[in-house]
Structure 1
Amino acid sequence: MFQGFTKGLTDSILNSLLLRCGVYLRTLDLSASPQLLTDLCADSISANCPNLAELNVSGVSVTEVSLRTIAKACPKLRKFIQERSFYVGDKGLTWLFQGCPTLERVDIQSNSRIVGDCFHSVPTTLKYLDLDHCTKLTDLGIRKIGLRCKHLTELFISHCKSLTDQSLVNITQNLKKLKALRMEGSYTQITTSGLKKIGQLVCLEEVSFAQNSTVDDEILIQCALGCPNLAHIDVSGCYKHVTDLGLQALTRCYDLSYLNISYLSHVSDSCVESLATRLGKLKTLIGRVCSGITDQAMMTFADICYDLELLDLSGNFDISNQSVERFIATHTGENSKPLTIVLGGTSVEPEHLDTSGSSITLNMYNLSMPHLKVDREIMLPPEESSSDEEEEELESEAVSPGMKHYQSVMAAGAEITSDTEWGDPELDGFDCDDYLIGDDPLEEERWSMF
């Protein structure tokens, strides 16, 4: 972290360090202190680090020319990370791929410039590729990856909005060894029929569809039937089309150890109980703000799933001390395995629970995200439609003396100049200067100062 340098890590300081240890260096990570570094740091790296195997230049202003310099001087690179790059496009990455023929891991997420032309020269040794948030990535780029990277096992293409169903055809036909696939977020040109093809990846062990509105029950059924080795599934935020039917199909995945069903409003207790009965190897269950989950389902988990290591129930109001007490009872003893339960935003009262002698750790943080809650709109008052006659009647009542339930619309921050304008004897003596109209922040600040 270079905390000893009061002015931060600069090109000059980095060069001084690499002069002394660069020839022995195998790993260099500059992502923690990139603010003062420029593309000149590439000259220092290329001149002093011939044996470099791993390089992270995320946040550093490395240009395409600088990347070519590094690739020529560091041909032994096996891992390259450059997230959030604004200066490197397909041309610079082409030079990198041509100069480093033994690359195995590449992370270039959040690159808004590449379209995928660089992948015609990507090394065939590549096993890990992270392209999340590469919004201009095209189907042609995915096709080139499929033709070159036959040994690829991990591919992350979340939020790549330019992709279509053709990309999934190329992935399922060419990347047969794929074990991890991440497709989070919405895709405007990918359909349900396209996502169903993921079920053809028989080696798939990890799949993440978080907040992907295209995912439905049929896709989960196809994944459960065609991917028997699935161990990690994330369908959090897929509340539009994922129901009990799709989740119950996951009971076929006997090796499932991680399941995230957060923000799914159509999931019931009976479905969760069915998962508990069939998924004996489950170690992590994350179910934040699932309105259909209650103590009943959790008590079933407590009685059956002894291998659980993490249970996150943040934001579930129907979870109380009753189910937590059952977990404490089943995790008391010498052979009980440690279990962390996250209970922030629930009805649990930790002061009335005794975890002494058990392997339970209670965490009262609320890890749920309000903007992902399906029922967040119920916190707002319902809109009421009224006819023209009713509106006229309300308007006449709003200005009549003695009105208590309606008031005329006023601009935010407007002040009432006289008490008599209200015409209500109950307001006599009320200091209108302290009354906030429209909850104007400036008026609130002024009021709080007095």
Structure 2
Amino acid sequence: MASTLADEIVSSSAEPMSPASDQMPIEQPPKLKGRKRLLQNLQRMSSSPSLVRRTRSHSTGYQRDRKASLSCVSLSPAQCWGDPTTSIPGDLESASPLSTAGNARIRMIGGSPRNASQTTVPLPADLRPASSSRNLQFELAEEESVTVNVVERKTQYAKRTVDFWNDMPNEIKTKILGYLTPKEIIDTSEFYSKISSGALMKIITTAGPFVRDLNLRGCVQLREKWLFEGEEISSACRNVVNFSVEGCRIDKISLNGFFLRNASLQYINVSGLSTVTNSAMKIIAQTCPQLETLIVSWCCNVDTKGLKRVVESCSKLRDLRAGEIRGFDDESIMECLFEKNTLERLVLHRTDVTDGSLKMLMVGRDPEIDVLTDRPIVPPRVLRHLDIHQCTSITDAGLRSLAHNVPALQGLQISQCTELTDDSVVDVIQTTPQLSHFDMEDLDNVTNNLLVELAKSPCSDTLEHLNVSYCDSIGDIGMLQVLKHCRQLRSLEMDNTRVSDLCLMEASSLVRKRGYGTDLPKVGLRIVVFDCVNVTWAGVREVLSSNAYIPRSLKNQATVTVKESRTDSPSSSSSSSTSLPPPVVVSYYPKEIIELKCFHGWQMTANEHNKRVLRGSLASANNLDRKWADYMMATEEAGAGGANARRRRRRAREAERLYQFDEEEEDLSLDVYVGGRRRARSGGCTVM
């Protein structure tokens, strides 16, 4: 049966069919049944070439243990029902049992080659599901409805952008601004760098007629606005009193135009601007007669010729800061300042001022000399602050002219004037009873004698700030006298000097004498002693322990206060003990403590100790102090050996006793630490 069917298929496929003969009828091949009918429309695609060389028959089922495998079975109609003139791919064509002489058996649609362009056919009726088209339409309709719902939901719940301030009614805005002061409304000092140039320009021009204090320090974003809209800023702001553009990038024309339109200026700060020239000084001299403060330090295009015009025209000038300005060796401007005698602050640091010009400022030209005192007879200067640091041309001859001529002097800075000695400085400090800030850093020629005289001078009661850093000749002899007599000290800088732990102990005694109270402590003295070779950890520990120390008398007084509160209670007459009020606990703290800047390896401990004291945790601070001392002693003992170890341990014990002195002694001088009697204490229990 099978051989007969195969012969019929071969004979029918051996006759070629010519596409040109439309009149010849096409003989339909017999229909296949069963497995062969299914395999007829199968197309095998494999990534392995072993599928082509299979030896099994076409009717054999798929076996998993053979090497050949079916990677994909395609039932695509486009490949099964193609162009009748197109042959099946060679691999399957040669493997097909129905192909003979290179021609494959192709099933035609419609019985005519004209319909060969159709590439799709529906599934047979017996294989097609009954309601597939209806289900497909239902699924498409459902997907469309879901899509529409999602779009509507997104449109419905779109996030709205709310501009809180602009959408608010003007009445509510006015009510809110009514609770603010004018300074709070306009002041942008905390966030000026984050404001855009357009917004800042709008603020300036809108509030221009009402602006009296215009501080644009560091507003570099206004560079283009000053260049192209400087005229608008000057026209809007015509009532400015205080004007500061330090660090701004403002052009020369806009700056001069602003000075021309603001005749009420009293404070001008243009320091560091290269666009400020002598022409600007001329405009200020002509249009700003009310000027009191002028800051032109580091203005490289300004010299004393322009400043002289300002001094001559502005009779109310009180503050002149002209650091790094050329021309102060010219005595003409100093003579003008002497004749006016209105300056209370004069800053001439890093200038070319000389002894002659400084004398001209103090005593004028050819003054009358007193026969008895051999001093010039001139009115005293009203100077309160004089800064001539790093003026290397000044010597003792020039500085001595300040003696007896500046009785109201409060601040004097003569740092890095390397030619000065004790003689001229002593003459000045002995005739300035109101001196409170004295800076003489990096003076190599001064000695401890200067500090001893400072402690004896009238200004010892008013001195608050003293800077003797990098004065190599200064040590404990002079500094101890200052700490004993200058009781108002608030800042003491003595780094890179020869001071030792004795100065730290005396400073601790000075601060403890300022008393105790029930309020939390605050920093009363700042000391800088880093890079001092004679300062050890024992001296640092003395400062820390003194900051957290409370005298025993105050502890007893707190206990008595608690007992009295129980005795004086209205319910004390009652026999029932439950009616007594709760005890009142009184905590005492030092009024002031020392903030210490020391060796960087100890600085973190000092900072943490100060934090605990300032928040009132004295017990915690004492605990930190003891642990740090144990660690430092253990470190020294571990790094020493032999007889040297015994010496180090003895020194550690002596340092331990230093801060265990008897606070109840009336005299808290240095004798307690050096030669006085020390009382041994265990230090194990602390009662607050």
Deviations 1:291-324 (A, max 9, x none): 3223322333234454556724243546684x67
Name the residue aligned to 2:503.
271
Which shifted more, 292-301 or 246-255?
292-301
Name the residue aligned to 2:599.
315
Deviation at 1:327, TM superposition (A): 5.0
Q: Where do 1:247-396 residues align within 5 Å?
A: 247-250=479-482, 251-264=484-497, 266-279=498-511, 280=513, 282-305=524-547, 306-308=590-592, 311-317=595-601, 321=605, 327=610, 330-331=613-614, 333=616
- 1:302/1:72 Cα in 2 relative to 1: closer, same or farther (>3 Å)? same
* Count of residues paired in the alignment: 332
Name the residue aligned to 1:195.
425
Q: Where do 1:119-268 residues align within 5 Å?
A: 119-122=334-337, 123-134=340-351, 136-147=352-363, 150-188=381-419, 190-200=420-430, 201-226=432-457, 227-228=459-460, 229-238=462-471, 240-250=472-482, 251-264=484-497, 266-268=498-500
1-structure distance, mates of 2:272, 2:474: 38
- 1:331/1:84 Cα in 2 relative to 1: closer, same or farther (>3 Å)? closer
3-state DSSP of counterpart to 1:233: strand
Deviations 1:164-194 (A, max 9, x none): 1122221122111101001111423x23322
2-structure distance, mates of 1:299, 1:335: 15
Deviations 1:21-65 (A, max 9, x none): 1x210111111214x522x34531332110001001112222223
Q: Is the 1:293–1:316 Cα contact (8 Å) retained in structure 2?
A: no
- 1:192/1:206 Cα in 2 relative to 1: closer, same or farther (>3 Å)? same
Q: Is the 1:198–1:223 Cα contact (8 Å) retained in structure 2?
A: no
The reply on whether 1:29 has 2:244 as its aligned counterpart is yes
3-state DSSP of counterpart to 1:142: helix
- 1:69/1:302 Cα in 2 relative to 1: closer, same or farther (>3 Å)? same
Q: Where do 1:82-93 residues align within 5 Å?
A: 82-93=296-307
2-structure distance, mates of 1:225, 1:55: 41
2-structure distance, mates of 1:67, 1:199: 35
2-structure distance, mates of 1:87, 1:293: 47
Deviations 1:207-251 (A, max 9, x none): 01122223321111122211221111111222x211111111112
Name the residue aligned to 1:4.
196
Select 1:45's aligned residue among 235, 249, 258.
258
Q: Is the 1:288–1:314 Cα contact (8 Å) retained in structure 2?
A: yes
Q: Is the 1:127–1:149 Cα contact (8 Å) retained in structure 2?
A: no
Name the residue aligned to 2:323.
109
1-structure distance, mates of 2:308, 2:380: 15
3-state DSSP of counterpart to 1:102: coil
3-state DSSP of counterpart to 2:223: coil
Name the residue aligned to 1:370.
none
Give the aligned residue type for 1:178: L
Q: Is the 2:394–2:417 Cα contact (8 Å) retained in structure 1?
A: no
Q: Higher relative contact order at CA 8 Å, sep ≥6: structure 1 or structure 2?
A: 1
Q: Is the 1:125–1:149 Cα contact (8 Å) retained in structure 2?
A: no
Over the residues paired in the alignment, what is the CA RMSD in angstroms? 3.0
Q: Is the 1:186–1:214 Cα contact (8 Å) retained in structure 2?
A: no
Deviation at 1:74, TM superposition (A): 0.4
Name the residue aligned to 2:314.
100
- 1:184/1:308 Cα in 2 relative to 1: closer, same or farther (>3 Å)? farther
2-structure distance, mates of 1:166, 1:173: 14
Deviation at 1:263, TM superposition (A): 2.1
- 1:12/1:307 Cα in 2 relative to 1: closer, same or farther (>3 Å)? farther
Name the residue aligned to 1:391.
none
3-state DSSP of counterpart to 2:438: strand
1-structure distance, mates of 2:428, 2:447: 13
3-state DSSP of counterpart to 2:404: helix
Q: Is the 2:380–2:407 Cα contact (8 Å) retained in structure 1?
A: no
Which shifted more, 221-230 or 102-111?
221-230
Structure 1: runs of 5+ lacking an equivalent:
339-347, 350-450
**Identical amino acids, percent of aligned pairs:** 19
- 1:318/1:55 Cα in 2 relative to 1: closer, same or farther (>3 Å)? closer
Deviations 1:111-146 (A, max 9, x none): 233225312222422111111111x10123222332
Name the residue aligned to 2:272.
59
TM-score between the two structures when normalised by the length of structure 1: 0.67
1-structure distance, mates of 2:503, 2:593: 21
Q: Where do 1:68-79 residues align within 5 Å?
A: 68-79=282-293
3-state DSSP of counterpart to 2:346: strand
- 1:288/1:241 Cα in 2 relative to 1: closer, same or farther (>3 Å)? same
Deviation at 1:8, TM superposition (A): 1.6
1-structure distance, mates of 2:254, 2:343: 26
- 1:331/1:54 Cα in 2 relative to 1: closer, same or farther (>3 Å)? closer
Which shifted more, 44-53 or 323-332?
323-332
1-structure distance, mates of 2:320, 2:526: 28
Give the aligned residue type for 2:309: W
